[in-house]
């Protein structure tokens, strides 16, 4: 398994990261532990979770993914095998069940969220602690236009947020800080604040990236490369769409789209047309469409780690095997041709 630097932290993480948002909802504790064991056996050393997981967020299951990762890490010898990342949830009325609805990034909220995650993870330190999405109004989760007419509300200044993270670093509770679902403006402003004030420097940015959502390339890839702040790419299979299993009306029983049909980011007409083209390309070259999609993301120069997820060991093994898949020039040329025809249909 190839290892990459996690920003300027000195930590090195596997090019493939195991995402755990299915743990506690679609996967039991035993199944989650089996996935972790398999990932480690394949050379993975990077695990990603969040306080709001399981997905979809609910009062019944929030924190459950961290707990399952925690019971696995508590087994003898496991903690030292992994670099574990988790996240503090941002504002949103759907998450009022978390921390009594106190969902800002103030010192008090960060301290409480870190302490809660440490307890659930059964560890003394979180290796990478991330804001799950910005407090301020931004165009995130597929929204294209900047919401300039939305009320600004109160949001914690970047200096105070970074000072809150610095408190946790100095306390020995976290080792590094990252962001998720962040914008070019936010990333550059925070990097400037950290550099000017000798505060924790952002180590990574976790945003969506896949064959049908390459928006990261437009404004963020240059920052990732020049500032040593690489992408932790989530949804490389676009909610499973790029496997091809949902084409022609397919809706496998127990699949994510069947269970959670309201999440339509990757399933509208333009996205489906692009997906059809990518699936056909893969099959014409004797490739599994899902493996082609994951392998493409893993090899992008601005990607630090590619976050994969699965609900079965068979899916997980297939995803992990992409580490050894080399895409030919013909395949890469075909991908670019499709991208030029169907650019970013599911941002």
d(CA 307, CA 321): 14
Q: Which residues of 324-347 are buried (b: 16+ CB within 10 A; e: fewer)?
A: ebebeeebeebbeebbeebebbbb
And the tokens for 126?
């979180």
Q: What is the DSSP string of 235-301?
A: -TTTTTGGGSTTGGG---TT-HHHH-TT--TT-SHHHHHHHHHHHHHHHHTT--HHHHHHHHHHT-T
Q: Which residues of 65-95 are buried (b: 16+ CB within 10 A; e: fewer)?
A: bbbbbbbbbeeeebbeebbbbbbbbbbeeeb
Q: Which of 53, 177, 246, 296 is catalytic?
A: 53
User: Tokens 């089996």 label which residue?
Assistant: 34
Catalytic, 234? Answer no
User: Tokens 């895409």 label which residue?
Assistant: 327
Among all residues, which ones are annotated catalytic? Answer: 53
């Amino acid at each position: 398994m190839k290892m990459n630097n996690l920003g300027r932290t000195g930590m090195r993480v596997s090019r493939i990261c195991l995402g755990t948002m299915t743990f506690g909802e679609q996967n039991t504790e035993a199944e989650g532990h089996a996935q972790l064991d398999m990932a480690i056996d394949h050379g993975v050393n990077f695990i990603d979770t969040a306080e709001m997981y399981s997905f979809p967020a609910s009062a019944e299951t929030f924190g459950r993914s961290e707990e399952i990762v925690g019971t696995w890490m508590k087994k003898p010898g496991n903690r030292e095998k992994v670099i574990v990342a988790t996240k503090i949830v941002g504002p949103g009325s759907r998450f009022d069940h978390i921390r009594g609805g106190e969902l800002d990034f103030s010192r008090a909220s960060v301290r409480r969220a870190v302490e809660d995650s440490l307890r659930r993870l059964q560890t003394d330190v979180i290796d990478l602690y991330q804001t799950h999405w910005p407090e301020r109004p931004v165009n995130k989760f597929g929204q294209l236009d900047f919401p300039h007419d939305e009320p600004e509300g109160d949001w914690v200044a970047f200096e105070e947020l970074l000072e809150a993270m610095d408190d946790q670093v100095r306390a020995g509770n976290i080792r590094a800080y990252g962001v998720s679902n962040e914008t070019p403006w936010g990333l550059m402003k925070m990097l400037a604040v950290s550099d000017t004030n000798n505060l924790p420097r952002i180590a990574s940015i976790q945003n969506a990236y896949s064959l049908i959502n390459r928006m990261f390339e437009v404004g963020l890839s240059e920052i990732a490369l020049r500032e040593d702040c690489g992408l932790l790419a989530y949804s490389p299979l676009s909610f499973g769409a790029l496997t091809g299993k949902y084409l022609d009306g397919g809706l496998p029983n127990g699949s994510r789209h069947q269970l959670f049909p309201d999440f339509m980011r990757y399933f509208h007409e333009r996205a489906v047309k692009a997906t059809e083209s990518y699936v056909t390309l893969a099959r014409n070259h004797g490739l599994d469409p899902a493996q082609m999609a994951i392998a493409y993301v893993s090899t992008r120069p601005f990607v630090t780690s590619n976050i994969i997820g699965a609900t079965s060991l068979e899916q997980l093994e297939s995803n992990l095997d992409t580490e050894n898949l080399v895409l030919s020039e013909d395949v890469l040329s075909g991908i670019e041709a499709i991208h030029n025809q169907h650019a970013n249909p599911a941002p």
